[in-house]
Amino acid sequence: MRRVGDRGSSESVDMRGSRVWFAVGAAILAAVAAWGFAPVFRALTAKWSSDPQYSHGYLVPALAGVILYVRRDRLRGAAPTCSPVGLPFIVAGAALYIAGGHLQFDWLSGIALVPLALGLLGILGGGPGFAWGWPAALFLAYMVPLPYQIETGLSLPLRSLATQGSTWLLQLLGLAAVPEGNVILLEHGRVSVAEACSGLSMFLTFFALATVVLIVARPPVLESVAVMVSVPAIAVASNVVRITATGLVANAWGPEVAHDWVHDQAGWFMMPVALALLFLELWMIGRACPVDTAEPKPLAGLLLPAPA
């Protein structure tokens, strides 16, 4: 006759065994997915390394990890489980991957990673896993370079806007600045607003960071809409400030000094400035439009798990 203690011990052993097999199955499935999409990963990293406009791609997986960490409460009390809920997403990802290769459309092959990640979450985590990770999976779309047509359609007007805005600001500061195409002619130098200086990188990176802020901080709807509407303006303004600073140094000490000491360094410096403007905007909206005390206050949920 089996005693109660023996039954409990047997159940715990079975539970440990099921978790081991679940971990083994998850590792095998992840390895197969990584092997199948290895060409996509190589193409993405090559693009991130060679094109300054997409160097932010290296940050996207890390920021997706931040999103998963912040939303970890969704997995509280959930047991490891397998579910077919993710199969349609796996099929969709495979179809996009095959279509991208057949049509020689790299964007399709790259964006296939998003439904693949959604499918893995559903298969390995069931409903709780899908609810936990779907924002992080969708966020991975930021690491895929834009199609050429969309990239060109954004880059050209952003480049022109950066040139005109920087020229106006330099003139406002008292310098003799004249735009000539995408070159700003100064009294003692010149600044070329190259394609890499169009601000597309700042535009995309700041959109990604703003998305993380909204997911993590969970501000009210009004603030979320205001942030997404203002992101392009803040990104363009930050790029204009960077080019203007480059022009000031180029006029005073020459274009070589401006490029070596200001142009590249200012690109890194302007992102914290843009984020500071974003948080200032959230604070001002929160003060102007206070929410009910029962609702989450602006930025109150930053880096904290959602309430149970």
pLDDT in tens, 47-100: 999 887 888 889 899 999 999 999 888 877 666 667 777 888 988 998 999 999
| Domain co-membership, 92 together with 209 | no
- Look at residue 264 and tell me if it is in a domain: yes
| Domain co-membership, 152 together with 135 | no
pLDDT of 1: 46
Structure tokens at 110: 């790259």
- Look at residue 219 and tell me if it is in a domain: yes
Average pLDDT over residues 281-302: 58
| Domain co-membership, 53 together with 86 | yes
* pTM of the predicted model over 0.85: no
Average pLDDT over residues 155-166: 89
| Domain co-membership, 200 together with 280 | yes
Domain housing 281: 148-288
Structure tokens at 17: 């065994």
> Is pLDDT at 14 greater than 60 in this prediction?
no
- Look at residue 307 and tell me if it is in a domain: no
pLDDT, the chain, mean: 79
| Domain co-membership, 206 together with 261 | yes
The beta strand positions in the chain, using DSSP E, are 178-180, 183-186, 189-192
| Domain co-membership, 133 together with 222 | no
| Domain co-membership, 52 together with 167 | no
Q: Indicate the pairing of strand 178-180 with strand 183-186.
A: antiparallel
Position 298 confidence tier, pLDDT thresholds 50, 70, 90: very low
Q: Nearest 5°: phi and psi at 208?
A: -65, -45
Name the residue with tokens 């439009």.
289
Residue 17 burial class via C-beta count within 10 angstroms: exposed 0-12, middle 13-18, buried 19 and up: exposed
> Is pLDDT at 104 greater than 90 in this prediction?
no
| Domain co-membership, 111 together with 9 | yes
| Domain co-membership, 49 together with 111 | yes
Secondary structure (H, E, C), 87-100:
HHHHHHHHHHHHHH
Q: Which of 99, 117, 143 is at the close of a domain?
A: 143
132-144 burial string, b = 16+ CB within 10 Å, else e? bbbbbbbbbebbb
Q: Which of 143, 164, 197 is at the close of a domain?
A: 143
pLDDT of 246: 85
pLDDT of 300: 38
Bridge partners for 180 per DSSP: 183
What count of other Cβ atoms lies within 10 Å of the Cβ of residue 131?
A: 16
| Domain co-membership, 152 together with 284 | yes
Average pLDDT over residues 258-278: 69
Is the separation of the CB atoms in 83 and 123 below 8 Å? yes
- Look at residue 294 and tell me if it is in a domain: no
Of residues 165, 114, 167, the one with CA closest to residue 136: 114
| Domain co-membership, 192 together with 117 | no
| Distance between CA atoms of residues 70 and 304, nearest Å | 6
| Distance between CA atoms of residues 275 and 217, nearest Å | 14
Share of the chain above pLDDT 70, in %: 78
- Look at residue 80 and tell me if it is in a domain: yes
- Look at residue 59 and tell me if it is in a domain: yes
- Look at residue 300 and tell me if it is in a domain: no
Of residues 182, 161, 184, 179, the one with CA closest to residue 237: 161
Distances (CA, A) of 266 to 49, 217, 250, 297: 19, 27, 14, 33
- Look at residue 301 and tell me if it is in a domain: no
Instruction: Give me Rg for the CA atoms of the chain.
Output: 25
Is the separation of the CB atoms in 196 and 52 below 8 Å? yes
DSSP-derived letter for residue 289 is S
Q: What is the domain count for the chain? A: 2
Phi-psi region of 81 (alpha: psi -120 to 50; beta: other; left: phi over 0): beta
pLDDT of 257: 65
| Domain co-membership, 13 together with 43 | yes
